[in-house]
Amino acid sequence: MTDETTYSISDLSQEFDITTRSIRFYEDQGLLSPQRRGQTRIYSRQDRVRLKLILRGKRLGFSLNECRELLELYDHTTSGSEMQLQLLLTRITERRAVLEQQLKDIELMQRELDSVEQRCREELQERHGQATKDSVA
Amino acid sequence: MTDETTYSISDLSQEFDITTRSIRFYEDQGLLSPQRRGQTRIYSRQDRVRLKLILRGKRLGFSLNECRELLELYDHTTSGSEMQLQLLLTRITERRAVLEQQLKDIELMQRELDSVEQRCREELQERHGQATKDSVA
DNA sequence: ATACATATTTACGTTTACGTAAACATACAT
DNA sequence: ATGTATGTTTACGTAAACGTAAATATGTAT
């Protein structure tokens, strides 16, 4: 039951709202390697998943090199030697640490936005006399 | 009770493990504006807080321009006109959306790391016969 | 067959976020 | 006074992540 679903480069660029240039660049950097029919690139469902992972990494501020490392974590799960598997566990731990720092950063930033928003609303209320409060029931 | 605590540029570069070049660059880009004693820069506690916020933004993949916008959200809380305050609330909402997307991305990525780690451990167990299991009590 | 859209390669350009080096000023210790 | 450390400005360099343009190929509709 090999899934034969494929995508063109413009399919993917439209779906994910990126340029074809970017997709080819990711291939250049070794993050993708679609099949070819003649010259044209044919992307499999796996390729599409990889692209999704790349973009997710980018949204978290990871460089393309870091994204590639993440993809390699996936690929090499069963392949490498024992030492490589141990090393892989180490990389996973490192990655986790970064993610948890980001979680903390997000929480702090959310609280700061809360406080700015509140100060902002208070200021608006003062200017409005005391009309249009906070839509309290 | 004005807090007179100040920092030199190298104080801050050491504390946050960045180069003095970076700190001056942030000033160049309008993210910092320390006082001067003659030529040398004197950083206040407020400046230090701003630097902290900048670095937090960077860890979340924000550009320096975005970091500056975040700082401006802070600064203009009570200053602007009503329209500017409304606009500020809009910007806050936008920022929140980005943060929530990042939260989702982090959760997904954590789960993926979980699954990679598990596959990796299983593979290691097979190679070890069934020795050194998962240190179960 | 021809037009037209889509895809490809090649290569130079651009922005961001600094690194690095040079040349000079300031301050403090000895 | 002379190092030595720290700080400053100025300016050129660089890596990452694409943008953009040009020239060419391929496929598809009519």
- Consecutive 10-residue runs of chain B (137 residues): their mean pLDDT? 88 96 96 94 96 97 96 86 91 96 97 95 85 49
Which chain A residues have a beta carbon less than 8 Å from that of B101? 59
pLDDT of residue B76: 84
Q: Which residues pair with B35 in a beta bridge?
A: B42
Tokens of A82: 């024992």
Asked if residues A9 and A46 have their Cβ atoms less than 8 Å apart, the reply is no
Answer CATH for B1-62 from 3.40.80.10, 1.10.3720.10, 3.40.309.10, 1.10.1660.10:
1.10.1660.10
Q: Could you tell me which residue, A30 or B132, shows the higher pLDDT?
A: A30
Which residue in B88, B99, B120 is closest to A106 by CB distance?
B99
Mean pLDDT of A20-39: 94
A86 contacts on B by Cβ (under 8 Å): 124
Q: Rounded mean pLDDT of A78-91?
A: 88
Measured distance CA(B18)–CA(A122) in Å, rounded: 37
- Confidence (pLDDT) at B135: 46
Averaged pLDDT for residues A60-76? 93
pLDDT in tens, A100-127: 999 999 999 999 999 999 999 999 999 8
In window 44-83 of B, residues with CB < 7 A from nucleic chain C are: 58, 63-65
The domains of chain B are located at 1-62, 76-128
Strands of chain A, DSSP E: 6-7, 35-37, 40-44
- CB-proximal positions of chain C, under 7 Å: 6-9, 16-20, 25-27
Three-point CA angle A101, B120, A23, nearest 5°: 65
Q: Tally Cβ neighbours within 10 Å of residue B37.
A: 9
Per-residue pLDDT tens over the stretch A74-84 = 888 777 888 98
Token couple for B9: 């540029």
Contact assignment for A113 to B120 by CB distance below 8 Å: no
Task: Round to a whole number and report the distance in Å from the CA of A14 to the C1' of D3.
Answer: 65
pLDDT score of A45: 95
Instruction: Point out the residue nearest to C9 (C-alpha to C1').
Output: A39
Of all residues in chain A, the percent with pLDDT exceeding 70 is 93
Tell me the chain B residues in contact with residue A85 when contact means C-beta distances shorter than 8 Å.
120, 123-124
Q: A49 — contact with chain B (CB < 8 Å)?
A: no
Using the CB atom, is residue B42 less than 7 Å from strand C? Answer: no
Please, which residues bridge with residue A7 across strands?
Answer: A43
pLDDT over 90 at A34, yes or no? yes
Q: How many CB atoms lie within 10 A of CB A116?
A: 21
- The beta-carbon contacts of A55-60 under 8 Å, at least 24 apart in sequence, are A55/A16, A55/A18, A56/B105, A56/B108, A56/B109, A57/B109, A58/B61, A59/B61, A59/B101, A59/B102, A59/B105, A60/A99, A60/A102, A60/B60, A60/B61, A60/B102, A60/B105, A60/B106, A60/B109
The mean pLDDT value of chain A amounts to 91
Contact A59 B61 (CB under 8 A): yes
Per-residue CA distances from A113 to A31, B6, B66, B90 (Å): 36, 27, 14, 12
Q: Identify the pLDDT of residue A76.
A: 83
